[in-house]
């Protein structure tokens, strides 16, 4: 399997790459899977690191990414970083594609935002669930769009063995929580069953507060 494959997550990589700040130093791709996006980030950042808690995904990512000098892959749970491998305030760019629904939204987004250096950017692409009739109608419009894109790209391909989860939060819940936790973020709902959130950490005071009890 080469790096030239298409699926609904890969389709929104341009949204993520478009959010990378100029002269990006450190980029962190959370839940990197087979590392395709991390390798793309390595072309735009001095150093790109992919983290995933799946040993199998990290093995695949290292196998496919060994050629690039400024890319590294770490097997770890980014929420449970007892070893301090991902220091808060270190990263100019943090991405998470199809990952946030694997964990508690508030805990994940809060931690991602804290990893950013002032002026750094967070780009999330995620999935949500259809809870209303309107949700189902909008999602239905994605069916022909997905078929056309799959035809254009020679089919939809997912990395083998990639851990997947169902999305429980609704589109509306994600939008509301994103705006509460990341004031000033840009939330967009996309046709191929994904949303994107882009947020810039302007100053220390705008970083989200920790969840209650933290």
Angle (CA) 45 20 200, round 5°: 125
**Binding flag, residue 99, ligand SAM (CB under 6 A):** yes
Main-chain dihedrals φ then ψ at residue 175, nearest 5 degrees: -60, -45
Helix (H) or strand (E) holding 196: strand 195-200
Least separation in angstroms between residue 58's CB and ligand SAM is 9
Angle (CA) 106 111 113, round 5°: 95
For residues 7 and 34, the answer to whether their CB atoms sit within 8 Å is: no
Of residues 118 and 142, the one with the C-beta less far from ligand SAM: 142
Bridge partners for 26 per DSSP: 47
Residues numbered 108-127 forming contacts with ligand SAM, rule: CB under 6 A: none
Which listed range, 59-67, 71-79, 177-185, 204-212, lies at the site for ligand SAM (CB under 6 A)? 71-79
Least separation in angstroms between residue 8's CB and ligand SAM is 9
Residues numbered 150-189 forming contacts with ligand SAM, rule: CB under 6 A: 162-164
Least separation in angstroms between residue 166's CB and ligand SAM is 11
3-class DSSP state for residue 107?
helix
Compute how many residues bind ligand SAM; rule: CB under 6 A.
Answer: 20
Among 57, 115, 116, 178, binds ligand SAM (CB under 6 A): 57
Least separation in angstroms between residue 39's CB and ligand SAM is 12
CA distance 25 to 117: 10
CA distance 90 to 201: 12
Could you list the residues that contact ligand SAM (CB under 6 A)? Answer: 9, 31-33, 51-54, 57, 77-79, 97-99, 102-103, 162-164
């Amino acid at each position: 399997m080469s790096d030239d494959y298409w699926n609904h997550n890969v389709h929104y990589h341009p949204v993520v790459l478009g959010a990378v700040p100029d002269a990006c130093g450190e980029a962190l791709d959370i839940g990197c899977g087979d590392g395709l996006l991390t390798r793309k980030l390595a072309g735009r950042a001095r150093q790109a690191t992919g983290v995933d808690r799946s040993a199998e995904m990290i093995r695949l990512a290292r196998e496919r990414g060994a050629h690039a000098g400024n890319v590294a892959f770490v097997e770890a749970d980014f929420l449970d970083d007892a070893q301090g491998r991902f220091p808060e305030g270190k990263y100019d760019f943090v991405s998470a594609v199809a990952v946030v629904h694997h964990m508690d939204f508030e805990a994940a987004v809060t931690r991602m935002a804290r990893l950013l250096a002032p002026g750094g950017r967070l780009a999330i692409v995620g999935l949500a669930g259809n809870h209303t009739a309107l949700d189902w109608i909008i999602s239905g419009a994605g069916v022909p769009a997905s078929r056309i894109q799959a035809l254009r790209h020679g089919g939809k391909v997912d990395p083998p063995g990639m851990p997947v989860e169902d999305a429980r939060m609704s589109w509306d819940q994600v939008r509301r929580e994103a705006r509460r936790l990341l004031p000033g973020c840009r939330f967009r709902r996309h046709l191929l069953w994904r949303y994107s959130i882009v947020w810039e950490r302007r100053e220390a005071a705008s970083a989200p507060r920790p969840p209650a009890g933290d």
